Structure 1
Amino acid sequence: MRKIFVQEPDSDIWKKWIRDCQEETQKAIDSVTKGENPKINEKLYKRDSIKKSYFVTKGAPFYGRCTYCESPIKDNQYPQVEHFRPKAGIMDENRKVINLKDENGIDTGEPHPGYYWLAYDWRNLLPSCAICNQPKSTLFPVVGRHAQAPNEEINEKPLLINPISELEDDNPELHLSVDPHTGIMSPVNDSLRGAMCIKLFRLNEREQLVDERKKIRRITNTMVTELYEALQKTGDPTYSERQAYQEIIKCYEELIGVFKGSQPYTAAYLSILRQKGFTIEWLQKKCEIFQDLLSNLDD
């Protein structure tokens, strides 16, 4: 799991979808206000044009991968648009149905309807592989009380992590790390949230996942070696300055791309790169220096 940097699209298709989502959200809220069960229009949040252009595209922000396990969602698989906070009904980590509570915090015996007001919120929608989505289903464990009405979720303390959240504490790197030798994922500082994600999504129980993360160590070391070798070419008379700068910039851009999530199993890459002292800010600064040097050759 990695932090995913998202930027809301600005296309006309997206804007229309957002308007449609807002209308359906209000309908659901109005239904609950009247004492009725909210109706969720699944076709809306799964709208094909939005799904293909945003949720399952091979480019940013999700790069065609599952938000939780980071595995590529292959063309022959059915990518699912998953609700981080469940749209209809909630269970805790023990699969116990969560009921609504009255103003005194007493269980009413009435099942929680789910986060119906977030059913179409794009910040609550994530692409997921079936292997991660099936066990999650309506599970949404929290510390304390579940939100029961719009905006109450702001005060919730989820035990799962939403990688596209802008909240600092929702950065997966604060909760999950990968051993570069074994590929095993562990909670950072005994993080309860990290442990819950590992358990629920079976991030260490799936042999293929662990094997793929183990391979990252060799790949990352190769990328770093190539960068150092490229830097040495600036003093090699057999290479022109232009050739050297272009190769250095390419190496920096590849590493920057890793930090942005361009490669599968980014969490494994980051665990290694951070151990080596790399940060995206440092890489970007160095890359800009050599881009300026290359630009000066053209002046």
Structure 2
Amino acid sequence: MRKIFIQEPDSEIWEKWIRDCQEETKKLIEIIAEGKKPIISNLYKRKEIKQIYFASKDAPFYGRCAYCETPIADTQSIDIEHFRPKAGIKDENGNVVNLKDSQGFETNIPHHGYYWLAYDWRNLLPSCEKCNRPKSTIFPVIGNYAQSVGEEVNERPLLINPISNLDEDNPENHLAVDSQGVMYSLNGSARGEMCLKIFKLNERDQLAQERRTQQRSTQLLIIELQNAFKDLGNPKNSEKQAYKTLINCCQKLTDIFEGKHSYTMASVCVLRENGFSIEWFQKKCEIFQNLLSKLDG
């Protein structure tokens, strides 16, 4: 799981979809107000939106599951998952969550789910089947559940939405990956523990293996970077080639921080353990490019 930086698309297709979603959301709210059962359509996963936004191999999701970061082979295999369930809620133990009355007492009426967020793009994430199926309508929180529009801002969810822009929701504050590719809760984070449990992030052998593979690739890039620095100080080697190698390494390592490679968190943990940051690579890349341009000039 990685923090995913979202820039809302600027296109006519997207804007039309947003308008349609807003209209359908308004209808859902009216239906609930009338005491009727809401019917949620497939509008939230409209084909062209799914292809250009959720399933694209480009940013923001790079064709990967937002939770386990596994590449998803094709568009048809991608589930569009509701972070906050659209219809009905269960707690972390699989028990149905019921509504509470105006006095705060639990009723026998099942929670409707976050129907008002059913078409909200900020509540939608691409997910693989192995993450989506066990999660389903499970959504544990600390304290009370939101029951109507807007109340969700006061919730304290135990799962992490990786596209949230809140620092408290940054997965790096709750999860990390050890040298064996095993993901663990950072500093005993309850939210980290819950993500591990619900998405089964350590219960699939191939996940740890893939994380280890990415870590080894990152370590090799670090060695390549270190060797390029040594070459730069060796009069027997080409200064121009050393700068080109340094630039290439810095760009590749910047790409890791930006999430362009699978299993980002595993690689980022390696980089941070070695004292690197995205800002360091970006600054060095700029410096080396300027020095190279002077040599070319």
Structure 1 counterpart of 2:212, from 211, 214, 221: 214
Is the deviation greater in 17-26 or in 240-249? Answer: 240-249
Q: Which among 234, 237, 244 is matched to residue 232 of structure 2?
A: 234
Residue 259 of structure 2: aligned partner: 261
Structure 1 residues without counterparts, runs of 5 or longer: none
Instruction: Name the residue aligned to 1:158.
Output: 157
- Which residue in 2 is equivalent to 1:112? 111
Which residue in 2 is equivalent to 1:187? Answer: 185
Matched, 1:54 2:53: yes
**How do residues 238-253 of structure 1 correspond to structure 2 at under 5 angstroms?**
239-253=237-251
Q: Distance in 1 between matches of 2:280 and 2:75?
A: 39
Residue 295 (structure 1) aligned with residue 278 (structure 2): no
Q: How far apart are residue 103 of structure 1 and its match?
A: 1.9
- Structure 1 residues 157-166 or 182-191, which shifts more? 182-191
Q: Secondary structure at the residue paired with 1:60?
A: coil
SS at match of 2:77: coil
Q: Which moved more, 1:105-114 or 1:238-247?
A: 238-247
Q: Secondary structure at the match of 2:73?
A: coil
Classify 1:46/1:76 alpha carbon distance in 2 versus 1 (closer, same or farther; 3 Å). closer
Identity of aligned residues (%): 60
SS of match in other structure, 2:108: strand
Q: CA–CA distance in 2 between the matches of 1:218 and 1:144?
A: 42
CA shift for structure 1 position 230: 1.9
The more displaced of 4-13 and 282-291 is: 282-291
Q: Equivalents in 1 of 2:208, 2:256: separation in Å?
A: 19
Helix, strand or coil at the partner of 2:109? strand
Please tell me whether the aligned partners of residues 81 and 127 of structure 2 are also in contact (alpha carbons under 8 angstroms).
yes
Which residue matches 2:174? 175
CA distance in structure 2 between the aligned counterparts of 1:113 and 1:76, rounded to whole angstroms: 29
Tell me the equivalent position of 1:72: 71
User: What is aligned with 1:286?
Assistant: 284
Letter in structure 2 aligned against 1:10: D
SS of equivalent to 2:81: strand
**SS in structure 2 opposite 1:186?**
strand
CA contact (8 A) 2:89 2:113 kept: yes
In structure 2, distance between residues paired with 1:217 and 1:6: 25
The CA deviation string for residues 197-245 of structure 1, in whole angstroms up to 9 with x for no partner, is 1111111111111111222332111010111122233334455443322
Name the stretch that deviates more: 242-251 or 257-266: 242-251
- How far the C-alpha of 1:104 sits from its partner, in A, is 1.5
Q: CA deviation at 1:298?
A: 5.0
What does the per-residue CA deviation read over 1:107-149, in whole Å, with 9 as the maximum and x for residues that have no partner?
A: 1211111101111111110000001100100000000011011
Whole-angstrom CA distance in 2 between matches of 1:240 and 1:22: 59
Deviation at 1:28, TM superposition (A): 0.8
* Structure 2 residue 149 is the aligned partner of structure 1 residue 146: no
Q: Distance in 2 between matches of 1:34 and 1:297?
A: 73
Match of 2:32 in 1: 32
- Relative to structure 1, the CA distance from residue 231 to residue 267 in structure 2 (aligned partners, 3 Å threshold; closer, same or farther) is same
Runs of 4+ in 1 over 6 A off after TM superposition: none
Q: Distance in 2 between matches of 1:146 and 1:140?
A: 10
Secondary structure at 2:99 match in 1: strand
Q: Structure 1 91/168 Cα, relative in aligned 2: closer, same or farther at 3 Å?
A: same
Q: Please, what TM-score do these two structures have when normalized by structure 1?
A: 0.95
- Give the CA deviation at 1:256: 0.5
**If the length of structure 2 is used for normalisation, what is the TM-score?**
0.96
**Deviations 1:46-66, CA, capped at 9 Å, x for gaps:** 111111111011111111111
Which sits farther off after the overlay, 79-88 or 225-234?
A: 225-234
How far did 1:265 drift?
0.9
1:169 counterpart letter in structure 2? E
What are structure 2's unaligned runs of at least 5 residues? none
Q: Distance in 1 between matches of 2:244 and 2:105?
A: 66
